[in-house]
Amino acid sequence: MLRLSQGQLTLLDTCPRKFQHVVLEQLAALPSSEQQASMAWGDRFHLLMQQQQMGLPVEHLLSGDRAFQVAVRSLQTTAPQLFDAGSVVSEFVDERLLPDAPSVQRSSEHLRSFTFAGHSFSVIYDLLLTEPHQAQIIDWKTYPQPQNARWLAEHWQTRLYCYSLVQTSDYSPEQVSMTYWFVRGGHLEEKGPQGALQAGTHYQPQSLLFPYSEGQHQAVHRRLSQALERLERWLSDYAEGIPLPQVDVSQGQCDRCPFSQRCGRAGANPGSALASDWMMTDLASIDEVIP
């Protein structure tokens, strides 16, 4: 039995051989300095939102980074319903705008698990808002909003997160939705010794809402069944020493893949990671990165 996530299902669709390297062999390329900085920003934001939902202090997370402060405050101004009244950043929002809805239950970093075709699946919702007759999954994204919303609608994260909630609760598919908040907004500029924001600077979080339905639920069920049937065949071959299939080189993915040299592809990127760069990795870290 494998424990799978949306990130691993995405890898399986993207390139089965890459799935082999990352999931079965536990290999990953060391992130670049830019990737490390982006991951640190995202980790800090997720921690702040989790702590403020729990009523814990967040002042230390807000200090020392003007752009981070503006991103958090801009989200609270844009979507005050995502914040609890009395949070440490409430000085930037009129608390009268915050909804008083005791029937809404909030759960931060909410874990759901289920089994399917002999495999275990786990999802973690950044924020889950539940009421008696509806539930909304909230996910924080720290990269720019994609121009093609349909691409995100069809992504495994959207499908699996909604599917998991229906499978593990009494909610019907029509009572479930998922909203992505792209929280980093635009570029922050500063001026003057006090670091005052430059007039006209745009820093607006954006969101995408995806409702769910019974038809979508059945489609996810079929797609998941098909993916796991293929995986079982490939795992059987892998046990006999046969590697998982490679992506077609004509798709142009190999030149920018850190595993290109390891796979022996003729068009391997000279800048991809060398053998000494491989390391064990926490698989949960791949979920935030959408290929």
pLDDT means per 10 residues in the chain (291 residues)?
92 94 88 87 92 87 86 90 55 40 80 94 95 95 82 94 98 97 67 44 80 97 96 96 92 85 68 36 39 36
Q: What is the pLDDT of residue 248?
A: 86
Angle at 235 between CA 231 and CA 237, to 5 degrees: 120
Q: What is the pLDDT of residue 273?
A: 41
Beta bridge partners of 116: 119
User: Strand ranges (DSSP E) for the chain?
Assistant: 3-4, 28-29, 105-116, 119-131, 134-141, 176-182, 190-191, 196-197, 206-211, 278-279
Whether the CB-CB separation of 178 and 164 falls below 8 Å is answered with no
C-alpha distances (whole Å) from 286 to each of 5, 38, 164, 231, 252 are: 10, 13, 19, 19, 21
Q: What is the pLDDT of residue 115?
A: 95
Q: What is the pLDDT of residue 203?
A: 63
Q: What is the pLDDT of residue 268?
A: 47
Q: What is the pLDDT of residue 143?
A: 82
Q: What is the pLDDT of residue 218?
A: 98
